[in-house]
Chain A
Amino acid sequence: MKTDTEASSPTDWDRPTIFYNEYVKWTVYLLIVLFAAWSYWEIRITPGRLLVGLEQSSQLMANAWPPDFTPERREMIWRDILETLAMAVIATIGGIILSVPVAILGSRNLVSERVFWIGRTIIATSRAFHALIIAIIVVKAVGFGPLAGIITLMIKTVGFFGKLLAEEIEDIDPTQLEAIEATGAGRFQTYFYAVVPQITQRFVALSIYRWDINLRSSAIVGIVGAGGIGQTLVASFDRFEYDFSAAIILVIIALVLLGEAVSAVARKRISTGAAGVETTPTRDAGRRTWNRFTRGQQLLRYGSVALVAGVIVISWRHLEMGIGVVRTAPAELYDLWTRMWPPSTGIVAEMVDPLLTSLHIAILGTVLAIALSIPTALIAADTTTPNRVTYTLGKLIVTTTRSVNVIIWVLVLVLLLGPGALAGVVAIGIRSVGFIGKLLAEAIEEIDMTQVEAMTATGASRLETAVYAIVPQVKPAFIGIATYRWDSNVRASTVIGFVGGGGIGSLLMSQINQFQWANAMTILIAILGIVLFSEVVSAYARKKVM
């Protein structure tokens, strides 16, 4: 850190700033505040509207309670859940297989500079769009149903997995690579001897994690017709069967929590299992044979491969998809591409306004989330929570807000607050509370208490202690969490219009429904630009505070 304020007088001290100077700093802050104020003005949030919403909510509660779990409804839900699960499984495995070559292309230490940029472009594009945007396009290309959902999730998996795997590959120890190369091993032998062992553990952990995420997504892509339980959910809203909606939402929450628990347990086992040394007894050292694995281990390995294959086959059969779709899907996607390119400029004037609305929604949603999540985190962290009751309340808020997707929040809030940007803002705010609250609470739990004690020992007050000992410890984590959430909120703000939450989503959907593909392309490019720009800004902010 450097500062331009030269110490002309020893009695004068200013805290060095990470900005160039104080003026820049305050200008930046002022700009942020002004922008937020502008957003506030544009969305026109008034206490009156929120009050109406509160009134509506008791009405809705009455309609939605008790949830409709009658036998035929149960059967419907069960069928949809199986479809959702099957989609998540196939998409995860297929997506991971596709993402391995993409990750290799995107690893600077394995390929040439030009290939690297190709790989990274693929990754960045697939990451930039919300799953629902991809879904709505894929549905048009391959028709309604789970196949569209699977393709969508596979594309998203390639972005996520490709990026993290590439980062992992770039982090490997290069001398291990060189050493194998120096023995005269071939390119692929080098990959399998020097790269694979270094990344296996993380690879497995990431796969499980991605399955968890895909499960969440496969529960909502149905909203635009891409299969899974989301389809039934939207239908229930359209038919005003709110008690059925409530049942579905409860089941989705249960499914998401279950998926999360399974994934957490599995990842933990992997990380502890690898700490020990793998030893394989040689059967007969005298005969000087050597096998990497014993018979039992070998069987176990084949067994797990067979198990995975079995799950895929079962999932595939469950979805009743012919193998033919695999052959036709690429052609159809290509066909779509030819209709989208070149993008048309006719839509530009029309799209500026909804794009700005999307941005405002993202900004206000994030501000709202931050405002709500700080107290939530304080009561959900066991070091700062006043008592057991507040602690439980904090955990409850965090869990329920996190496990319901932002789109489902929009569906509910549109009923309460009417369609429009306000519902979107509140939905994003609520969804983000859980995310920021959870991670912030963890950061608070991890702070070094001796620093707090030391500050207390100087005779500082509680508030001073918080400002001097807690805030500096939590601040980098907080900025990191908030900016990551900002990134996902920007993406979310582009799709909440699909279900009436305002922003660019409704325009995009109408263009697609009218088959105005060239217009849709223009909108997609604009979204890509905004998402990438916001990502660059937030990455810069993170780098400054880390």
Chain B
Amino acid sequence: MLETKNLEKVYQTGDRALDDVSVTLDGTEVVAMIGPSGAGKSTFIRCINRLVEPTSGDVWLDDVELTALSKPELQRERRNIGMVFQEYGLVERLTVMENVLSGRLGYVGFWQSLRRKFPPDAIEHAYETLERVGLRGYENKRVDALSGGQRQRVGIARAVLQRPKLLLVDEPTSSLDPETSHAVMELLAEIAVDTDVPVVINIHEVHLAEEFADRILGLSDGSLVFDGPPAELDEAAKTRVYQGATDSVEASRSTGESADDQLSQDELLTKNG
């Protein structure tokens, strides 16, 4: 179970990227987080595993308060949180297998990891996972020789190998074509069911969110403005997420950001239509 309480992040530049975000995620939910560019989606995900330090507020994973952990404790706890990156975040010059097995780094000693010696069950799990994501036979290819969709699958496999209690996915489809995007989302939804972990997915394409998510969070300018099942995400709700300034209570928005949001709205329309 993941819980954030009054999560807030103000960057050094003064950008208030997250403003009082409190959510609770349970069980095997697939949660899609939507919102225009700059709304704070990535910041939210990164505040959970503290790649970005939240300014205030708490994050709880089961009964561990992540925000209260020391550096070494955090490092140990990160093993329980899988993350899939927007630009894959793979080590390009290593092989597929090394990238997948790097999901176990937190469990093997330094010297072992240096010699690429992983326990047999990890290797077994890696093979299974590669098959699971459709990359059987790719283990010894170097990652920079793969296509975008294949790379994203390697990224997912790495996260799965952590046997995480929570899976964080930051815009898995933003560099993929529509068909591959669909397949990747399908895979993520299946993995959520198979492995029994909640998945948080940041995503731009609202129709993918509606198709695959059990629950949708709408973020606008750092605030949570929508929280509900896809069925409740009607036109009014979408407008609230993507054009917060026009009809919501927060009126204090800079013109630059509004222009940005307008752009995402346009993108959205073309993608849906």
Contact with A along B139-168 (1 / 0, CB 8 A): 111100100000000010010001000000
Whether B83 pairs with A279 at a CB distance below 8 angstroms is: no
Residue of A at shortest CB range from B123?
A: A290
Whether B91 pairs with A183 at a CB distance below 8 angstroms is: no
Whether B51 pairs with A185 at a CB distance below 8 angstroms is: no
Given contacts A279-B141, A281-B140, contact A179 B113 (CB under 8 A): no
Whether A292 pairs with B145 at a CB distance below 8 angstroms is: no
Given contacts A198-B91, A277-B141, contact A184 B51 (CB under 8 A): no
Q: Residue B79 at the A interface, CB < 8 A?
A: yes
Count residues of B near A (Cβ-Cβ below 8 Å). 47
Contact with A along B74-113 (1 / 0, CB 8 A): 0111111111010111111111011001111110001001
Whether A185 pairs with B95 at a CB distance below 8 angstroms is: no
Q: How far is the CA of A185 from the CA of B80 in the complex (A)?
A: 12
Which residue of the partner chain, among B90, B118, B123, contacts A179 with CB atoms under 8 Å?
A: B90
How many Å from the CB of B27 to the closest CB on chain A? Answer: 23
Whether B105 pairs with A184 at a CB distance below 8 angstroms is: yes
Interface centre among A178, A183, A197 (most CB of B within 10 A): A183
Q: Residue B49 at the A interface, CB < 8 A?
A: yes
Which residue of the partner chain, among B91, B97, B141, B162, contacts A197 with CB atoms under 8 Å?
A: B91
Whether A193 pairs with B123 at a CB distance below 8 angstroms is: no
Which residue of the partner chain, among A178, A193, A288, contacts B105 with CB atoms under 8 Å?
A: A193
Q: How far is the CA of A14 from the CA of B97 in the complex (A)?
A: 61
Which residue of the partner chain, among B124, B142, B162, contacts A277 with CB atoms under 8 Å?
A: B142
Which residue of the partner chain, among A178, A183, A193, A201, contacts B94 with CB atoms under 8 Å?
A: A193
Whether A282 pairs with B139 at a CB distance below 8 angstroms is: yes
Q: Residue B116 at the A interface, CB < 8 A?
A: yes
How many Å from the CB of A172 to the closest CB on chain B? Answer: 10
Q: Which residues of B contact A182 (CB under 8 A)?
A: 49, 51, 78, 81, 83, 89
Given contacts A288-B124, A291-B116, contact A186 B110 (CB under 8 A): yes
How many Å from the CB of B156 to the closest CB on chain A? Answer: 12
Residue of A at shortest CB range from B101?
A: A290
Q: Residue B251 at the A interface, CB < 8 A?
A: no
Q: How far is the CA of A194 from the CA of B91 in the complex (A)?
A: 6
Q: Residue A448 at the B interface, CB < 8 A?
A: no
Whether A180 pairs with B102 at a CB distance below 8 angstroms is: yes
Whether A292 pairs with B98 at a CB distance below 8 angstroms is: yes
Interface members, chain A 274-298 (any B CB < 8 Å): 277-282, 288-293
Q: How far is the CA of A188 from the CA of B106 in the complex (A)?
A: 11
Whether B145 pairs with A176 at a CB distance below 8 angstroms is: no
Q: Which residues of A contact B97 (CB under 8 A)?
A: 290, 292
Q: Residue B231 at the A interface, CB < 8 A?
A: no
Interface centre among B76, B87, B105 (most CB of A within 10 A): B105
How many Å from the CB of A294 to the closest CB on chain B? Answer: 10
Whether B76 pairs with A184 at a CB distance below 8 angstroms is: yes
Q: Which residues of B contact A458 (CB under 8 A)?
A: none
Q: Which residues of A contact B155 (CB under 8 A)?
A: 179
Q: Residue A540 at the B interface, CB < 8 A?
A: no
Given contacts A189-B113, A192-B114, A290-B97, contact A280 B87 (CB under 8 A): no
Q: Which residues of B contact A192 (CB under 8 A)?
A: 110, 113-114
How many Å from the CB of A527 to the closest CB on chain B? Answer: 39
Q: Residue A335 at the B interface, CB < 8 A?
A: no
Q: Which residues of A contact B94 (CB under 8 A)?
A: 193, 197
Whether B140 pairs with A282 at a CB distance below 8 angstroms is: yes
Whether B85 pairs with A193 at a CB distance below 8 angstroms is: no
Q: How far is the CA of A193 from the CA of B143 in the complex (A)?
A: 14
Contact with A along B240-260 (1 / 0, CB 8 A): 000000000000000000000
Q: Residue A175 at the B interface, CB < 8 A?
A: yes
Q: Residue A200 at the B interface, CB < 8 A?
A: yes
In the assembled complex, 29 residue pairs joining A and B whose CB atoms fall closer than 8 Å, in A order, are: A175-B87, A176-B90, A179-B85, A179-B91, A180-B91, A180-B102, A182-B49, A182-B51, A184-B76, A184-B77, A184-B162, A185-B75, A186-B106, A189-B105, A192-B110, A193-B98, A194-B91, A197-B92, A197-B94, A198-B91, A198-B92, A277-B142, A278-B142, A279-B141, A280-B95, A282-B139, A288-B124, A290-B126, A293-B116
